[in-house]
Structure 1
Amino acid sequence: MSAAESRYAQIEREALAIKFGVERFRVYLYGSHFEVHTDHKPLLPIFNNHGAKSNARIELWLLKLQQYDFEVKHIPGRDNPADYLSRYHSHPESHNAMIEDYVNYICSNAVPKAMKFEVVQSESKQDSEIQALCSALKSGDWSDENVRDYRHMKNEFTVVDGVVLRDTRIVFQNHSRTSR
């Protein structure tokens, strides 16, 4: 937790733990129903009865977690083993491996169903603007006129097997643009 987060009220810290855990394992949880077990009983009406009111910070977290199908269950502290996530210190190597797994997951699942990844890959290799973008991402040189429009969002791109991603979306060049 950051210094500011450590000063949150207890209920906020417990809710933050749920948000952190769900977002941390989003690749495994998305699209399936799951249960979150907590020893903090006041969270039950907040997370399970979406009509229950709480403060703005927790309400924001609830909005972010709406895309997941889960239920919060209470397990008394005496029956609940120590919370692994709050005591686990991730190692940068494992974090980088998790990031790479997530990027590969996005690459394999972000392709439109009417198109195969190999088609996107071959078309990207033939597109001069996409190739210039790949080159700029690898070299860090954004002086090429073909990548001028992408400079302001250069930290949002990644390249996987010759395909450019912006966040979780595959980048295609818009050939219908008017010439500069």
Structure 2
Amino acid sequence: MERITFLGFIIDKDGRRPDPEKIAAVQQMPPPTNDGQVRSFLGFIQFYGSFVKELFRLRPPLDALTKKDAKFLWTSQCQKSFDRVKQILQSDLLLTHFDPNLPIIVAADASQYGIGAVISHRFPDGSEKAIYHISKALTAPQRNYSQIEKEAFGLITAVTKFHKFLYGRHFTLRTDHKPLLTIFGDKKGIPLYSANRLQRWAIILLNYDFTIEYVNTNHFGQADALSRLISDQIQQKECEDRVVAQIESEVITNLVSTCEQLPVTADMIRAESKKDPLLSQVYKYTVSGLWPPITDKSSQISFFHNRRDQLSFVADCIMFNDRIVIPSSLKARVLKMIHRAHPAIVRMKQLARSLVYWPSIDKDIENMVRSCDQCASVAKNPIKNTLCSWPIPTAPWQRLHADYAGPLEPTTWSWWTHSPNGRKLSQPLPSQPQLQSTS
């Protein structure tokens, strides 16, 4: 048997395609006259959605007719989408069979209204053939994502949708959004300045064995068509340079907002950093990427050497993750500001670690808090010991207690308590005249 017909599909050695008899019924279908007929038509074409790359480009005008309390109005856009869907289903649609021995490629793309993805094989002759297409319209909250989050959401949707094909196998993950290569492809760890949503998605991808690569938008047709052309009114995707500029703008905004909480400005930090001998070396080594071997592990340069992968520059200011590296000449001013409310050591460290960094910052904070007179004056008193009875003596005159009572005319008495023969005995004795004035 060369081919079989099963559940509306024709399956042969080359792959899988829709059954022409099923498609013929669609060609004879007249335009819908109510929302119920529109839902029936959308349900039918969704069944063959894995073959249609442009499905969500065509669905929005028809989906609008099925919304709650929407007035049914069959427009020219609806008719155009209706005719285009029938034309695509009548064309030669073919998906190749999945072969675990062939290289696997997953591509995903996103636009303002939806995402699209495709899983395909690369054959020995260099050609690529699709195995499965998916496309998904974004919800209203998802449309508010930034562009980088939409692109990342497309990758996550593709990988989780194709989980059974990908898990336990190496595959190539393609994107036309270059910033994602740093977030999802960097083996040094997830950048700490990434949004929480991106960090969660990066952790999900740690379960998979993949190599992420960048493909120029002009050569990114398959997944791009699924998402970019969701409707005729869709806006052109932001160019990559604008996205990178937006990320840089957000990083600079973070620098400015941090400086607003400090008694120094970015210009002051930049100027003093150039004068600082240690930070001048750090700047030089970080720009060149050539760090000398460190033999003295206690030197201050070793602190930066151990954290060199997390150093960056924003407006010529050295950053450790999202914290500003403060030069030596400004440390005292920054510490004074952080300690203005006189927080304790732990709280002051928490405040400092959210804003600034320099070697031995923890030690400097501890010294400042301990040398603060106002903090010492209101420090908690030592914890008092629990009251307990004296141990019973085991021999006479082993322990002796004395105290003064009085003045009782005509003299001051001292009371002595001792324990002869293991029994307590109190005995008053008059004080000497020379002791009465000082007792």
- Greater C-alpha radius of gyration: 2
Richer in strand (by share): 2
TM-score, normalised via structure 1 length: 0.46
| Relative contact order higher in (CA < 8 Å, ≥ 6 apart) | 1
Richer in helix (by share): 1
